[in-house]
Amino acid sequence: MTIKYSQLGICLTLSLAGMHLGCAPASDVKGPPPLSAEALPTEPEALLKVADEQFDSGSTGFRNAQVAIERAVQKNPEWASSKAGYGAQWRLARAASEQCTLDDGGPCSAVLPAGLMAGKKAVELEPERIEGHYYLAALHGFNAQTQRGGDVKPLVQLMISEGDIAAKIDERFDSGGPHRLLGTLYARAPAPPVAVGDPEKAVTHLQKAVALAPDYPPNQMYLGEALIADERYPDAEAAIQTTKKLLADSKWDKRRAAWKDALSKIERKLRAKQG
């Protein structure tokens, strides 16, 4: 997930579910053709299955997933408002987050309000489950991005609050995702009183993510960036080299290009610091 807090002077990249990582929109990512809502079934379970398949395809698949979930909600409103509809609500929040990851303008603003509403509804329906908190944290970050003027720090604090809750519920979710999200935020944000930046906290969170999922490349990659922020350059170099080794695994073929792009930016940052 890419979050850009222009008011704080940050281009903040957070990894969620193996999405594109980088500050520029991934406009060149291919995806499936758009889905027509009328051509889809009406049964909730069938539509959620369609959505999950679309999530796996990336790019326009994220919009397709939203189309399928919205149809499930519209055709089954009582179900969607009950605990049985929790899966639809958090998936709507995820669909908005994924689209904002690929977008640097209008489309994100268009899907954000519904995504935030769905994330909040998911938390309301199942406060003890992680998905709602996790994707709501991401959406609070995107909401901060879209603000023009004013103080975005309260929105960042909401992101931290939901991220902390997600970590307490299931820190293993999305390959250590809650710690990866929080760690990247603390690594890139300016220090107080401007914002919430804290390199030591960043390293702590990302070390936890690595411990939970050591073979997941973004965990090592963003640990490297946190170590740069903490001025621990030899350790950062080691994390970068570990990331490169992990990326060679064939299981990351579909994600390697985006991750390599993000890694190259972090490596350039290290080289600049080393002078």
Q: Return all residues near 212 (Cβ < 8 A) that are at least 6 apart.
A: 171, 172, 175, 176, 179, 219
87, 48 contact by CB (below 8 A): yes
Which DSSP symbol is given to 11? E
Collect contacts of 164-173 with beta carbons under 8 A, ≥24 apart.
165/133, 166/130, 166/133, 166/134, 166/137, 169/128, 169/129, 169/130, 169/133, 170/130, 171/208, 171/212, 172/212, 172/213, 173/130, 173/131, 173/134
Tell me whether residue 21 is exposed, middle or buried, using C-beta atoms within 10 angstroms of its C-beta: 0 to 12, 13 to 18, 19 or more. buried
In 3D, which of 267, 197, 274 has the Cα closest to residue 231?
274
223, 206 contact by CB (below 8 A): yes
| pTM of the shown model | 0.85
The radius of gyration of the chain's CA atoms, rounded to the nearest angstrom, is: 18
- CA 155 from centroid of its chain's CA atoms: 16
- pLDDT score recorded for residue 254: 78
The encoded tokens of residue 185 equal: 């935020």
How big, in percent rounded to 5, are the helix, strand and coil portions of the chain? Answer: 70, 5, 25
101, 138 contact by CB (below 8 A): no
- How many other C-beta atoms can be found within 10 angstroms of the C-beta atom of residue 81? 15
- CATH T-level fold of 171-187+197-275: 1.25.40
The encoded tokens of residue 25 equal: 């929109």
Q: Is the peptide bond before 34 cis (omega within 30 degrees of 0)?
A: no
Q: Determine the 3-state secondary structure of 49 from DSSP.
A: helix
The encoded tokens of residue 114 equal: 């519904």
The one-digit pLDDT tens for each residue of the chain (275 residues) are: 444 433 333 344 443 434 433 333 343 446 789 999 999 999 999 999 999 999 988 778 899 999 999 999 999 999 999 999 999 999 999 999 989 887 655 678 899 999 999 999 999 999 999 999 999 999 998 898 788 777 888 999 999 999 999 999 999 999 999 999 999 999 988 899 888 999 999 999 999 999 999 999 999 999 999 999 999 999 999 999 999 999 999 999 878 988 999 999 999 999 999 98
- pLDDT score recorded for residue 255: 83
- The pLDDT tens digits of the residues spanning 87-119 come to 999 999 999 998 988 765 567 889 999 999 999
In 3D, which of 185, 220, 173 has the Cα closest to residue 17?
173
Q: Where are the domains of the chain?
A: 171-187+197-275
